Amino acid sequence: MFGAALACGGGLRKEADFFTGPHTATIVDIDTTGAMLASVGEDRVVHFWSLPDLAGQRSIPLADFGTAVAFAPDGRRVAVADRTSRVAVWDTTSWTRIDRLDHPAAALAWSGDRLALAVPDANTVAIYDGEQLSFVGMLEGHTAPVVDLAFSPDGAYLATGSADRTARVWEVATGQEKQLYAGHKAGVVSVRFSPDGARLATGSQDKMARVWDVGSGEPLRQLSGHLDWVVGLAFPEEPDLLATADKDGRYRVWSTSDGGSREKVDLEEQTVEDILFLGDTLVLAGREILMQDISKPLAKQAPAPPEARVLDARCSKLLSCGKTLMRSPDPEVADRGLEVVKMAREMDLGGPAICLNTLVALPGTMEGPAPPECAP
């Protein structure tokens, strides 16, 4: 029944009023080719950046705050949700809108076989055909709003996290609940499958992350040490590792085999709302996007200086060495941009960390080439 499906469900994600008040965070996704990153947030724009240089490619205005974004596996389509209770699906080759779904969407997920897209709504998840974008059916069982969604690597299963303190895994083909995972003491705000699909990670408002056996539903690991809600989960290609992040700007990299913490980092004066991996690079999204290589011990890395993160929210972009900053018609913004570029040129911005403020590119403010002072 649900075989080739696009899912649309409801509820309030970690950035919505039910949990945290007004949305202030950035939500990100990377296409499976690793060539493009998309981000949405409070500036009512969805931004597309090329990787790895983080050069801005395109910005699409939204009617309200962006709440979720997800690429199709081939990168040729992207779904974007905002607070107008609509999900727009765009063609990323022609940059034309293909369709619009009239559903509130706090989280999106596109299946591994590109047949399904999930959008949480109320206590349910609605499934849509991923090709035709026609409604297929509903997943029902949660007793509180669905907060986060994730498909298994093969697209056969959909994991959901809910304010009812549980996570569930559903069989996409039938719409039947396969397993329920209970144990958190507060709402489950993040869910992710391991690369092999055998384990499920959950993050909660109880400041804990847990790792479960997908088949049996048995808990494998309880990961403690965070001081705020665990809103971000990401498995890298190395199957034994799991990255977790909390809202207060702390992230950890764990060994799932023994539950030991490999790295612990506190990002001062930062918030985190979403994380994912691009190879060995951990991408953390909050007020800024931070990219951190975890393949080397953090103590041996040369992080970007704190000043590199201090960008006016209206400046367009800071590349790895601050080479290009596009012109803004606002003199105050333009002056600030030149100041940032000159500052960056005088510093050694070596090391794997690149910070990029994403509350940028307000419609109509980033036109024209860079002025001579900003030229590479």
For the cut 70, the answer to whether the pLDDT of residue 342 exceeds it is no
Q: Please tell me the predicted confidence (pLDDT) of residue 217.
A: 95
What is the C-alpha separation between 295 and 21, in angstroms, rounded? 36
Q: Is the dihedral of CA 29, 274, 192, 103 positive or negative?
A: negative
Identify the residue with better confidence: 203 or 123: 203
How far apart (Å, rounded) are the C-alpha atoms in residues 121 and 103? 7
Question: What's the token pair of residue 325?
Answer: 């900053």
- What are 264-289's pLDDT values in tens digits? 676 665 667 788 887 878 877 776 67
Distances (CA, A) of 123 to 8, 111, 145, 202: 11, 21, 4, 18
Tokens encoding 20: 């945290």
Q: Is the pLDDT of residue 150 over 80?
A: yes
pLDDT averaged over the chain?
Answer: 72
Highest-pLDDT range among 87-96, 118-127, 339-348: 87-96
CA atoms within 13 A on the CB side of 255: 6
pLDDT for residue 25: 42
Task: Domains for the chain: give ranges and CATH numbers.
Answer: 6-301 (2.130.10.10), 302-376 (no CATH)
